[in-house]
Structure 1
Amino acid sequence: MSNALKFYINGAWVDPVTPKTLDVINPATEESFAKISVGSAADVDRAVAAARAAFPKFSQTSKAERLKLLNKILEIYNRRAEDVAKAVSDEMGAPMGWARDAQTWAGRAHMEATIKALEDFEFEHQRGHSKIVKEAIGVCALITPWNWPLNQIVCKVAPAIAAGCTMVLKPSEIAPMSGLVWTEILHEAGVPAGVYNMVNGDGPSVGQVMAGHKDVDMVSFTGSTRAGIIVAKTAADTVKRVAQELGGKSPNIILPDADFETAVTKGVEGCFGNSGQSCDAPTRMLVPLQRHDEALKIAKQAAEAHKVGDPKADGTVLGPVVSDVQFNKIQRLIESGIAEGATLVTGGTGRPEGLNRGYYVRPTVFGNVRPDMTIAREEIFGPVLSIMPYESEEQAIEIANDTVYGLAAYVQSKDIKHARKVARQLRAGQVSINYPDWDTFAPFGGYKQSGNGREYADWGIHDFLEVKGIVGYGEE
């Protein structure tokens, strides 16, 4: 890719101030397939200065102008969808079907949702003799993760543009290639110079510099809770807004009246999707004690149906996890589950049979998992499911809420009224009943250590706005 060693600042592809490169590894082969430049504070300064200079004019553009721009971006995105999918497959090891139908689709779906939300969005209203105005917050630092690159880039860039903000994006240095394609799309769409800027790099050298920069008004961060704490502390010195979507350890309560074959099978699929690398994955399956063994049997069959292998091969369901760091972490956590006495139903440590290269993980299911076990408390971020028995509905809810996280939760029941009652008792930012379709208009974000703020559609636009009251404005 011709722009891989450049950054995008003030409407142009530019060289880094200080040359420094990083290999991008294909996790399916463990080999470098590209190089990117790694930025520094000097590059951040240039990008923030460009965004600051562009803000006064862009923040005053009309809703119609911003809608026209977003629609143009979407048009080009759709035309380049295969380029996006190939980049995601190479950088993440995602099977091409998943790269097209989940990863690339997510970017398109969030663009469409943001456009629809902006069409209906009211930026001001009258209240008595005061005018209440919602206006762009300013220059935004956008820091995105590697696991759903287009999902998170679009969930930040699109609402920031919709709100009239200017921005600097730092994609993950682990999966940066899709971010480069995205940036080419925005350039072709004619985003005004300085409105959108992109600097590649790692967290300490670029991300933290952005978070602490005096001329940045807001930080929107998606990633681990550990990194989110660092971002929040860094941003605190300049008292800027920080919106965060962090880790999760999501419970999936299967109530006694659920269709167990369907509920357990879909629960396994939900946990293992994206090779288990989703912050809202239903990784803790809670089942009635008397049906625990039945659940293990169904889960074993469902897990073993997941073919792991070459992302480019037909029939592959799961590719590798993203890096050696992730692979080693997952192996350590599987070992801890065995050592702490959980029942290994299927899977385990090491690579699947016949795969000697690549960061491939065996689809793994544990049963008889207790709430105090490491695998019940730590975010694994791999295809590893913990099945936990409960004796009563009250205990199930207690176990579900017994976590520092609160991003997502799931409830399965044939009785929708009963499921709704349980859903209201779960401390999570999004609760899904009976495996519904992805709703890009529902708010997404977390309670507790899963973060703050909300993304998707109009919820995302709100995060990029300040509220101004003009008192004495007079009646209209």
Structure 2
Amino acid sequence: MFNQPKQYINGAWVDSHSQETIAVINPATEAAFGTIAKGNAQDVEDAVQAANNVYLEFRHSSIDYRKQLLDGIVSEYENRKADLIEAMTLELGTPVTAAENVHYEMGLAHFKAARDALDDFQFQERRGNNVVMKEAIGVAGLITPWNFPTNQTAIKLAGALAAGSTVVLKPSEETPFAAIILAEIFDKVGVPQGVFNLVNGDGMGVGNPLSEHPLVRMVSFTGSGNTGSKIMEKASADFKKVSLELGGKSPFIILDDADLEAAADAAVHKVVDNSGQVCIAGSRTLVPESQKEAFIEQVKAKIQTINVGDPQDSSVNMGPVINEKQFNQVQEFIKIGQAEGATLEFGGEGKPEGLETGYYIKPTVFSNVDNTMTIAQEEIFGPVMSILTYSDLDEAIKIANDTKYGLAGYVYGKDMETLQYVATSLEAGVIEINEAPRSWDLPFGGYKQSGIGREWGDFGIEEFLEVKSISGFFN
């Protein structure tokens, strides 16, 4: 069993004021495998006060010192690789190969990217005898989701530490143990007391009091649009800065000159990776009307090779979804898709054969999807592909942008001029051409209802800074 009934506050593991715990469920077995503290408002108060007590001192810490801290975190993170992989496989149900090659690596990359960004980051700019300064905003409340336990926490923590901001972290109670290991890493490295604080618990007990606390000057949240909207509304009471990374319904546009087999393979992985629990999942697949049938056949051939099963099995490439609630939600979307007239090409309702225990879902493909259908407009957060068709490029772009979201977009084809035209026409913050790998110093964030602000690298550092001008700073 994994057990951590304490909170990490002011550089020490301390008892939670609630004296209550939360069971953490393994989604592959539906059984509890650990417990964490169920924090309350007093735990949040202690953590925020600890962060507030040292925020000026940490704001004035040197860039070299913060580089050393991040270097130490990177080194100890690498030492804890096996522990992080084990925790994520158990708490998220991600296949062990993905836990190692995706989740673990993403967290590591973000700590490295923030450290490297400090080599060139300008916190001061001289203008005559005056100076423009960027300085840490103060205490930041970080609220992270369950779908990427190391990636989402590392993005926020790395940016905040590089900026010189003190933090209180509330990870998801569904996947808390990767964050607990990060706390152990920070403790061993010697992150100063009060600079980093971890309060486990649920949204009502910890998330709400953290986002509303008057000493918290900035809230960085990743999660659902509904929760993000509430955080933004509450933040307006005392004009907190907010950074929100929310949902998506991203288009995957296949051009008429694309290699259909390669495009189908890419499109399938954009909806089944991490069991579809990805905010940038390319869940709306747009294909030329003339190539629809050929593309569907390629998709069927590719998706039936996805091995769904026990995350501990190294041959498995798709595990369960996170919990019963998420399982039921995805099942409901599959029902709605059929009821609204989409054609079920593969998968469907229920669990895959032989996987009665665990929150496993059949990888599912719909064709003949109209962009007004629920499955084309709402974020499903499960392994469900909706195939839409278009007659020309202008229609493809119009369909792609016809959504309340604007987080990501994908374009697949051969003619570079056309690829560039489509990429620059999409209303989204993250665009990928032909599966080109993303550099860790590129900004990440969305348009419209996909959020406010940007993360990753130097853009992630900027989120935790305020701008100050001082006249007569120099003789």
Q: Give the structure-1-normalised TM-score.
A: 0.98
| Alignment-derived partner of residue 341 in structure 1 | 341
Partner of 2:230: 230
Residues in 1 aligned to 2:119 and 2:15: alpha-carbon distance in whole angstroms:
37
CA contact (8 A) 2:3 2:35 kept: no
Shift of 1:441: 1.1
> Does the CA contact (< 8 Å) of 1:3 and 1:13 recur in 2?
no
The amino acid across from 2:441 in the alignment is F
Shift of 1:2: 7.3
The whole-number CA distance in structure 1 between the counterparts of 2:306 and 2:205 is 39
* Contact persistence 2:96–2:314 (CA under 8 A): no
The runs of at least 4 aligned residues of structure 1 exceeding 4 Å deviation read: none
Whether the 8 Å contact between 1:269 and 1:302 is mirrored in structure 2 is no
Match of 1:205, SS? helix
**Which residue of the partner structure matches residue 60 of structure 1?**
60
Moved more, 63-72 or 200-209: 200-209
- Between 351-360 and 230-239, the greater mean CA deviation after superposition: 230-239
Amino acid at match of 1:150: T
Deviation at 1:127, TM superposition (A): 2.2
Aligned partner of residue 172 in structure 1, secondary structure = coil
Cα-to-partner distance string for 1:158-216 (whole Å, 9 max, x where unaligned) = 11010011010000001111111111111111000000000001112111111110000
Q: CA deviation at 1:9?
A: 0.2
Identity %: 49
Alignment of 1:166-245 (within 5 A): 166-245=166-245
1:60 alignment partner AA: H
Match of 2:455 in 1: 455
Cα drift, residue 450 of structure 1: 0.3
Which runs of 5 or more structure 1 residues have no equivalent in the other structure? none
2:253 equivalent in structure 1: 253
User: For residue 38 of structure 2, what is the aligned residue in structure 1?
Assistant: 38
SS in 2 for 1:109: helix
- What are the within-5 Å matches in structure 2 for residues 7-406 of structure 1? 7-406=7-406
The residue that corresponds to 2:407 in the other structure is 407
Alpha-carbon separation, structure 2, partners of 1:57 and 1:127: 26
Does structure 2 conserve the Cα–Cα contact (< 8 Å) formed by 1:140 and 1:219? yes
Measured in 2, the distance between the counterparts of 1:439 and 1:409 equals: 16
User: Is residue 3–residue 180 contact of structure 1 (8 Å, CA) maintained in 2?
Assistant: no
Cα distance in structure 1, aligned partners of 2:238 and 2:305? 51
Aligned residues: 475
Counterparts of 2:227 and 2:117, CA distance in 1: 30
Asked whether the 8 Å contact 1:308–1:319 carries over to 2, the reply is: yes
**Equivalent position SS for 1:169:** strand
Classify 1:3/1:352 alpha carbon distance in 2 versus 1 (closer, same or farther; 3 Å). Answer: closer
In structure 2, give the amino acid aligned to 1:331. Answer: Q
Amino acid at match of 2:206: V
Shift of 1:438: 2.9
TM-align CA RMSD: 1.0
- The amino acid across from 2:212 in the alignment is G
Deviation at residue 3 of structure 1 after TM alignment: 6.0
- The residue identity in structure 2 corresponding to 1:75 is S
Letter paired with 1:198: L
SS in 2 for 1:460: helix
Residue 29 of structure 1 aligns to a residue whose secondary structure is coil
Between the aligned partners of 1:210 and 1:234, the Cα distance in structure 2 is 11
Deviation at 1:20, TM superposition (A): 1.2
Tell whether the 8 Å contact from 1:208 to 1:234 is kept in structure 2 after alignment.
no
What TM-score do you get using the length of structure 2 for normalisation? Answer: 0.99
